[in-house]
Homo-oligomer: A and B are copies of this chain.
Amino acid sequence: MRGFAEAEFRGRLHKAQTLMAEAGIGAILLTTEPEFRYFSGFLTRFWESPSRPWFLILPAQGDPVAVIPSIGAALMQSTWVQDIRTWPAPNPRDEGVSLLVEALRETGGPVALPSGPESSLRMSLADYARVQCDSGLTFRDDAGITARLRAIKSEAEIDKIRASCAVAGRSFARVPEIAREGVALAQVFRDFQRLLLEEGAEFVSYLAGGAGPDGYGDVISPASDVPLARGDVLMLDTGAVRDGYFCDYDRNFAVGAPSAVAAGAHAQLIEATAAGFEASRPGARACDVFAAMAAITGGGEEAGRLGHGLGLQLTEGLSLSPRDETVLAEGMVITLEPGVETGPGRLMVHEENIVIRAGGAERLSPFAGPELVVI
């Protein structure tokens, strides 16, 4: 089934309200897509347009209140949210501000917004100041409640991430159809997105990658028009989306027979991933999993992060880094993403997706073997 049963949303709200009571919070105000969707089930690509703010209020007691542009009313009515208040947007003279103020006055304060790492405010600073002033309520951080709840996935959520991973798995298996010596990397990017769509992705929110002899220079640049050459390692890393949930993992391919350096690096990455998998269990800290992988790849502090949380967003929550002491718990979905230097300014990375279970970890992506696939 698409979406979730109402019980799933009621469970999320109930947990939030329990934590809100402990923290002395009167209402949580959400403005960003993943936070809004997590509690409402409201799924649309329309957030791509920045013109209209969307507000969801979680009161200390009772059901959520959606304060949204009228263009979203019909779709919102198909969710479990009943209390839907709309205004004709865009209206720069009053972009939902008076409606939001009224709703917040009903729930009462303190009004808490996600304010910690990764959070952002999807409304203008001017309107935020107006809402604070006109409501007369106290505003504060949400004590990390939203992020903490989102970090632990339900079985229904895990199923969705698994389905997303399967889409990418089928697509990676077809890369030999689209990539070979002489094909420009930009063309491979286009064609790989096409494969993802054919294999069941609803959209491809993220695609990164690189290609070069024995590795690539960086993993965030747009694809160039340089054709793949014999001796290159090609890497594709995707965030395909199915039913609103991401996968995020990659695959490396050797264009022609791989060099000893590339083959060795890949085997080492697979070994590091296995070590990370072994270390990923309830009670272990994010930095412990980092250390297990870094012990094999040799990276230290400068290695950056070797994995992260995953779910409604491409990356969310914890970082597998020496600086993150988050304790892993059942239901957390994370990526394992070791990297190795293969030359000056050149690296190879590998990534898989897993979920933390009582006894250890479970694979969500179909783990790659140590041998590079040759195209």
Residue contact B88 to A304, C-beta cutoff 8 Å: yes
CB distance from A159 to the nearest CB of B (A): 18
Residue contact A304 to B71, C-beta cutoff 8 Å: yes
In the assembled complex, which residues on chain B have CB atoms less than 8 Å from the CB atom of A321? 90
Using A50-B315, A315-B51 as known contacts, say yes or no to A44 and B88 having CB atoms under 8 A apart.
Answer: no
Interface residue? A103 (CB, 8 A): no
Of A70, A186, A315, which is in contact with the most chain B CB atoms at under 10 Å from its CB? A315
In whole angstroms, how far apart are the Cα atoms of A367 and B201 in the complex?
A: 31
A295-338, CB < 8 A from B: 301-302, 304-305, 308, 313-316, 319, 321, 323-324
CB distance from A180 to the nearest CB of B (A): 18
Interface residue? A274 (CB, 8 A): no
Q: Which of A19-27, A122-130, A257-265, A356-364 interfaces with chain B?
A: A122-130
Residue in B43, B193, B301 whose CB lies within 8 Å of A88:
B301
In the assembled complex, which residues on chain B have CB atoms less than 8 Å from the CB atom of A193? 193, 197, 203-204
Residue contact A323 to B92, C-beta cutoff 8 Å: yes
Of A70, A78, A125, which is in contact with the most chain B CB atoms at under 10 Å from its CB? A125
Residue in B75, B95, B116 whose CB lies within 8 Å of A117:
B95
Residue in B93, B115, B126, B203 whose CB lies within 8 Å of A207:
B203
Residue in B120, B220, B324 whose CB lies within 8 Å of A92:
B324
In whole angstroms, how far apart are the Cα atoms of A198 and B186 in the complex?
A: 11
Residue in B88, B218, B222 whose CB lies within 8 Å of A302:
B88
In whole angstroms, how far apart are the Cα atoms of A354 and B156 in the complex?
A: 45
Using A45-B206, A74-B218 as known contacts, say yes or no to A126 and B116 having CB atoms under 8 A apart.
Answer: yes
Residue contact A46 to B220, C-beta cutoff 8 Å: yes
Using A117-B95, A220-B75 as known contacts, say yes or no to A208 and B51 having CB atoms under 8 A apart.
Answer: no
Residue contact A189 to B202, C-beta cutoff 8 Å: yes
A68-103, CB < 8 A from B: 70-72, 74-75, 78, 88, 90-93, 95
Residue contact B121 to A44, C-beta cutoff 8 Å: no
Residue contact B239 to A48, C-beta cutoff 8 Å: yes
Interface residue? A138 (CB, 8 A): no
Residue in B49, B93, B125 whose CB lies within 8 Å of A121:
B125
Which residue from chain B places its CB closest to the CB of A315 in the assembled complex? B49
Identify the A interface with B (CB < 8 A).
Answer: 2, 43-46, 48-51, 70-72, 74-75, 78, 88, 90-93, 95, 113-126, 141, 186, 189-191, 193-194, 197-198, 201-208, 217-223, 239, 301-302, 304-305, 308, 313-316, 319, 321, 323-324, 345
In addition to A2-B222, A92-B116, A193-B203, 13 A-B residue pairs with Cβ atoms within 8 Å of each other are A43-B222, A45-B206, A48-B206, A49-B315, A50-B118, A51-B308, A51-B319, A74-B345, A75-B218, A115-B126, A120-B122, A120-B124, A202-B223
9 smallest A-B Cβ distances: which pairs?
Answer: A115-B125, A46-B220, A49-B315, A74-B218, A48-B206, A121-B121, A115-B126, A190-B197, A194-B194
